[in-house]
Amino acid sequence: MAAGQSGTSAKPPIDWTILHAQVILDHLGFSPGILDGREGQSLTAALKGFQISRGIDQSGALDPATLRALAPYASLRPVRRLTLDAATLKGPYINPMPKDPGEQAKMPSLAYTRPLEKLAEMFHTTPEVLVELNPGGKAIEPGAEFVFPNALPASRDYPADIKPEWRQTLNDLNVEAKVPEADHIVVDKSDKVLRVFDKQERLVAQFSATMGSQHDPLPIGTWKIYGADTNPKFHYNPALFWDAKKGDEKAMLPPGPNGPVGVVWLDLSKEHYGIHGTPEPQLIGRTQSHGCIRLTNWDVARLALMIKPGTKAVFQE
């Protein structure tokens, strides 16, 4: 078969201008999804959010006005070359990861499957992008140098009263500590984004999101966020899942970034609904959910630092 006849095409190479813009947007809290140096719906949405916040036309593109608005942050390098150490590569790892909830319930945690997956989440990207940035099949071991998208936060000065294990998760995900306080959030179904507003109604952050499905539609209305359950266990109840397999039984799944709700569950006043993370960040905005609002693990962790119990959540079409 000749090239191109299969109906698929190879991904374009990493565009360094796009990657640089993604890194800046990620630092500013206008998440472009995974940092991969490529155009896509998440980057377009992030640019529109940034443009709204800066009062410029919403082109969703890296147009001249947007490039000028991003220019003050150009000193943020698109990538960083870092030396791996034992602490960064520390597990545990679960491989293979069972897919059956009953088998997952027997695991000590739903941890990463391998160091490459952990490093990808740490730097807000995918294993495939890390392989592209580091060709040659280098061993992932202490002392090895690797190139990563520059997701390193400006501050790790997290609240003093948080649990040690949550502090470790925030560090592992390179979550920015200096974030604005949310007055309310708006989940917009049409744009597939979650927007964060301050008391002056200014848009201060935006995250791409997966929300609802034909089986479990997004619950339109105004709700409250009761609070955050960090590194949560997950009560699997097949009666609440339209796609549950016949014979599935209730199970308590252990915590971990590869769990169904990732590293955070933000509980909503709508019963059985929440805002949470995901084990598959590359699918955010591209798949359906069971009615809940799903963000990447690093984005929902950042959001958790912005909200407090009682924060208003508006879900709209």
- For residue 305, the domain's CATH number is 2.40.440.10
221 inside domain:
yes
205 inside domain:
yes
Mean pLDDT on 216-234: 92
Find out whether 283 and 307 touch, Cβ atoms under 8 Å: no
89 inside domain:
no
φ and ψ of 148, to 5 deg: -130, 150
pLDDT in tens, 253-297: 999 999 999 999 999 999 889 999 999 999 886 554 445 899 999
225 inside domain:
yes
Q: Sorting pLDDT into bands at 50, 70 and 90, what band is 215?
A: low
pLDDT number for residue 52: 98
Q: Torsion over CA of 199, 203, 206 and 210, rounded to 10 degrees?
A: 80
pLDDT in tens, 29-81: 999 999 999 999 999 999 999 999 999 999 999 999 999 999 999 999 999 99
284 inside domain:
yes
136 inside domain:
no
Give the structural domain span for 258. 184-316
pLDDT in tens, 102-134: 999 999 999 999 999 999 999 999 999 999 999
Distances (CA, A) of 233 to 163, 240, 269: 16, 17, 19
157 inside domain:
no
pLDDT in tens, 170-189: 999 999 999 999 999 999 98
Q: How many domains does the chain have?
A: 1
Task: Give the torsion sign (CA, 159, 160, 166, 169).
Answer: positive
Cα 91 to chain centroid distance, Å, stands at 20
Mean pLDDT on 9-20: 90
8 inside domain:
no
Mean pLDDT on 301-311: 97
What letters, b where the CB count within 10 A reaches 16 and e where it falls short, cover 55-82?
A: eeeeebbbeeebeebbeeeeebebbeeb
